[in-house]
């Protein structure tokens, strides 16, 4: 079977305007690069549909959906600004030249929902939604360039409408997925593992190892705060010591991974240390993980804030996920200090802290010391 690439040109409207870090040209830049480097015999581009109100209401409040509908239609006219703080943060307010954000946000949500269904139903080897992974939005608040939380919509749809009971969400975005964490914080049907830069050094400032869920969901939120400049070896260690043991015990029915290129050493908003080979490794490890659930995996890719890095890192992820071989060169010289993963020892200490926090919830960590 082929790999589904969910994409349509209207994604370019997910654009907050001039000077904003998140512009809609990223999607065309990537798709042009993708088509130049990978054989279309192995992939099928699938056009997603816009999310309906019912889709959005799986996760978001009616008040928030109504606000988004009206605010983004009127904001371009200079109207509605006074009420924005109730429902969105300042970094979600559009500026001059912004796209049709309400429509585009619905398209992202519809795309990720469909990707989950295509994978679960076994229609493709993998389903990759370009534009997905807007993990900062909560049920009633948009922030961090995220309007609707498509990651949560994908998972909630599979849970509520398709009967899944064990969903693994693996978030490898450099920023902590605070919205996704909050939505599933008390839910034992969703194991949320989040690899992100140390929250003491980056937005959104949460996602520490001791934040492990509550109530029925205690132990099912796993935060992995990566030390500054953590690279290939550190990420490999996290997969070996945290991700794989938990996944093997949890036995997911499907895996949803989200995250783009912002853990790259040359990203303009972050301070991690991955190279292109590191992104390929993440894709490979997710492909290995998916063997636990019959190969059923969804990938949601949107983030990254250096356009010279973004298409290469996204393609590296996809090559790892699919096993395709493409020779890609780093767009910038790797700094000497990053050629060896200087953060590995510190990452090892983080592993000990995580296991200590979780050992009463998971057998794989019960002997951790």
CA of 238: how far to CAs of 38, 214, 218, 241, 303, in Å? 29, 23, 20, 5, 21
- Cβ 149 vs Cβ 134: under 8 Å: yes
Cis previous bond, 215, omega within 30? no
Residue for token digits 């099912």? 220
136 catalytic per annotation? yes
Q: Which of 37, 60, 82, 136 is catalytic?
A: 136
128: which residues sit within 8 A by CB, 6+ positions away?
Answer: 3, 4, 5, 6, 115, 298, 299, 300, 301, 318, 321
Packed helices 310-322 and 276-289: angle between N→C axes, nearest 10 degrees: 30
Neighbours of 95 (CB within 10 A): 13
What is the CA angle 168-6-329, rounded to 5? Answer: 85
- Looking at the DSSP assignment, which residues form a beta bridge with residue 299? 128, 257
- DSSP class of residue 274? B
Pairing of strands 297-301, 3-6: unpaired
Overall residue count recorded for the chain in this entry: 369
Report residue 350: phi and psi, to 5°: -60, -40
Structure tokens at 291: 């063997």
CB contact at 8 A, 312 and 276: yes
175 and 196 in contact (C-beta within 8 Å)?
A: yes
**Please, are residues 139 and 123 in contact by the beta-carbon 8 Å criterion?**
no
Cβ neighbours of residue 83 under 8 Å, at least 6 residues apart? 67, 71
**Residues annotated as catalytic (active site), given as ranges:** 136
């Amino acid at each position: 079977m082929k790999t589904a690439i969910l994409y349509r040109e209207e994604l370019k409207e997910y654009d907050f305007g001039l000077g904003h870090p998140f512009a809609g040209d990223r999607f065309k830049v990537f798709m042009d690069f993708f088509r130049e480097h990978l054989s279309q015999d192995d992939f099928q581009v699938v056009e997603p549909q816009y999310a309906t109100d019912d889709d959005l209401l799986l996760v978001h409040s009616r008040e928030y959906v109504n606000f988004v509908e009206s605010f983004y239609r009127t904001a371009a006219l200079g109207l509605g600004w006074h009420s924005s703080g109730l429902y969105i943060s300042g970094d979600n307010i559009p500026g001059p030249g912004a796209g049709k954000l309400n429509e585009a946000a619905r398209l992202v949500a519809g795309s990720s929902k469909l990707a989950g269904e295509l994978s679960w139903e076994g229609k493709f080897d993998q389903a990759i939604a370009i534009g997905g992974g807007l993990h900062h939005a909560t049920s009633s608040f948009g922030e961090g360039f995220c309007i609707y939380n498509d990651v949560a919509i994908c998972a909630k749809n599979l849970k509520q409408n398709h009967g899944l009971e064990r969903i693994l969400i693996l978030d490898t975005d450099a920023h902590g997925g605070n919205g996704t964490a909050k939505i599933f914080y008390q839910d034992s049907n969703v194991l949320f593992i989040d690899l992100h830069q140390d929250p003491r050094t980056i937005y959104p400032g949460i996602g520490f190892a001791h934040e492990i869920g509550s109530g029925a969901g205690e132990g099912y939120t796993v935060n992995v705060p990566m030390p500054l400049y953590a690279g290939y070896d550190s990420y490999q260690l996290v997969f070996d010591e945290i991700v794989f043991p938990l996944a093997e015990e949890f036995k997911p029915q499907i895996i949803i991974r989200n995250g783009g290129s912002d853990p790259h050493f040359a990203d303009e908003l972050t301070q991690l240390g991955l190279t292109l080979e590191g992104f390929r490794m993440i894709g490979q490890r997710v492909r290995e993980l998916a063997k636990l659930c019959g190969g059923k995996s969804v990938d949601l890719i949107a983030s990254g804030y250096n356009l010279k890095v973004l298409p290469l890192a996204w393609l590296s992820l996809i090559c790892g996920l699919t096993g395709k071989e493409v020779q890609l060169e780093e767009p910038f010289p790797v700094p000497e200090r990053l050629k060896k993963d200087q953060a590995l020892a510190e990452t090892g200490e983080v592993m000990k802290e995580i296991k200590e926090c979780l050992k009463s919830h998971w057998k794989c960590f019960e002997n951790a010391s």
